[in-house]
């Protein structure tokens, strides 16, 4: 009888542990007041022995998805990447239960580029909202998340085509898009889009591969175009004039003078 009770207790404990281990949260990260973002990521919850939230972390093995399975062992051996390939971690979370039904959260946040900082937030039911100050960028970083299904995924299947179309539209010398180097770049981006867990994988993976291309100012950025109003778009057009000048010299020769790279797509299209 005692053995049966012990076995039953172990089964219940394992079931509870499995439920907690599968707890998954969908977070959006925003730098400043819409300066950069939103960046979408999934974070996995860890609990202590009393079943209290102790840690939140993004998907492990990001280094494998970004650098590939062959380079990753060396990166980990020489500690050139974050532990277990995790890009974002909020650890040592302290939970304070409030009388209004919310929980105050305080923990240590670490992420490449943004650095380390003290995360302060609140949890209400299945949502978490908080922030930390990034000394690296001198900006407040906001995080908002909600609990989601364990099998939830982001769909990046259309991203390679959008990257190709956008580059075709704005690249000055489009003949480069027929080279082996560009085709190799696109194959890696297609692979990245297939295996990426979140926007963090995409951001680091894309910019790593883009750095190998022979042109600059080619980065993957995050933002919501729907936030722009017609007035804002008109203002953007006004701001991006006077940077590029084009003058025809002969039937076969022209002078293109670039005074600043601060111009936008509208100005480039008008040349």
pLDDT digits (tens, 9 = 90+) for 245-257: 666 666 656 565 6
Q: Are residues 133 and 240 in the same domain?
A: no
Residue 50, phi then psi, degrees to nearest 5: -95, 15
148, 173, 203 - which closes a domain: 148
Instruction: Please state the rounded mean pLDDT for residues 187-203.
Output: 96
156, part of any domain: no
User: CATH no. for residue 139?
Assistant: 2.40.128.120
Q: Which of 127, 148, 169 is the last residue of a domain?
A: 148
Count of structural domains within the chain:
2
Residues found in the chain:
271
Q: Tell me: cis bond preceding 38? Omega within 30 of 0 counts.
A: yes
Q: Which of 129, 148, 167 is the last residue of a domain?
A: 148
Same-domain check for residues 249 and 125: no
Sign of CA dihedral 79, 80, 83, 85: negative
Query: Does position 172 have pLDDT exceeding 50, yes or no?
Result: yes
Query: Has residue 227 got a pLDDT over 80?
Result: no
- Judgement on whether residues 134 and 234 belong to the same structural domain of the protein: no
C-beta neighbour count of 8 within 10 angstroms: 10
**200 in a structural domain:** no
Identify whether 162 is part of a domain.
Answer: no
> Is residue 193 one of the residues assigned to a domain?
no
For residues 234 and 144, membership in a common domain is answered with no
CA-based end-to-end distance of the chain: 85
Domain of 267, in residue numbers? 230-271
Q: Which residues of 143-168 are buried (b: 16+ CB within 10 A; e: fewer)?
A: bbbebbeeeeebebeebbeebeeebe
Q: Note whether residue 9 is domain-resident.
A: no
**Residue 56 domain-assigned?**
yes
Residue 202 lies in a domain: no
pLDDT by residue (tens digit) across 29-73?
Answer: 999 887 788 999 999 999 999 999 999 999 999 999 999 988 999
Residue 137 lies in a domain: yes
Q: Which residues of 28-51 are buried (b: 16+ CB within 10 A; e: fewer)?
A: bbbbeeeeebbbbbbbbbebeeee
For 95-108, write each residue's pLDDT tens digit: 999 999 999 999 99
Percent of the chain predicted with pLDDT > 90: 59
């Amino acid at each position: 009888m005692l053995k049966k009770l012990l076995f039953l207790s172990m089964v219940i404990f394992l079931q509870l542990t499995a439920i907690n281990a599968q707890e998954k949260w969908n977070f959006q990260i925003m730098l400043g007041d819409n300066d950069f973002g939103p960046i979408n990521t999934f974070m996995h919850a860890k609990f202590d022995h009393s079943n209290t939230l102790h840690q939140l972390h993004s998907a492990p093995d990001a280094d494998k998805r970004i650098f590939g399975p062959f380079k990753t062992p060396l990166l980990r051996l020489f500690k050139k990447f974050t532990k277990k390939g995790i890009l974002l971690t909020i650890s040592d979370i302290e939970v304070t239960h409030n009388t209004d039904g919310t929980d105050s959260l305080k923990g240590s946040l670490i992420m490449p580029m943004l650095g380390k900082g003290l995360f302060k937030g609140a949890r209400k039911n299945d949502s978490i909202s908080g922030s930390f100050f990034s000394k690296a960028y001198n900006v407040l970083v906001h995080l908002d998340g909600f609990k989601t299904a364990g099998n939830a995924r982001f769909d990046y299947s259309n991203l390679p085509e959008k990257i190709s179309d956008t580059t075709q539209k704005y690249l000055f010398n489009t003949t480069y898009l027929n080279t082996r180097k560009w085709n190799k770049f696109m194959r890696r981006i297609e692979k990245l889009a297939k295996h990426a867990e979140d926007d963090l994988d995409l951001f680091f993976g894309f910019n790593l591969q883009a750095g190998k291309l022979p042109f600059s100012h080619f980065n993957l950025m995050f933002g919501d175009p729907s936030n722009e109003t017609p007035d804002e778009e008109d203002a953007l057009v006004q701001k991006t004039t006077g940077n590029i000048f084009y003058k025809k010299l002969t039937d076969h020769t022209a002078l293109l003078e670039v005074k600043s790279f601060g111009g936008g797509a509208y100005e480039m299209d008008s040349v």
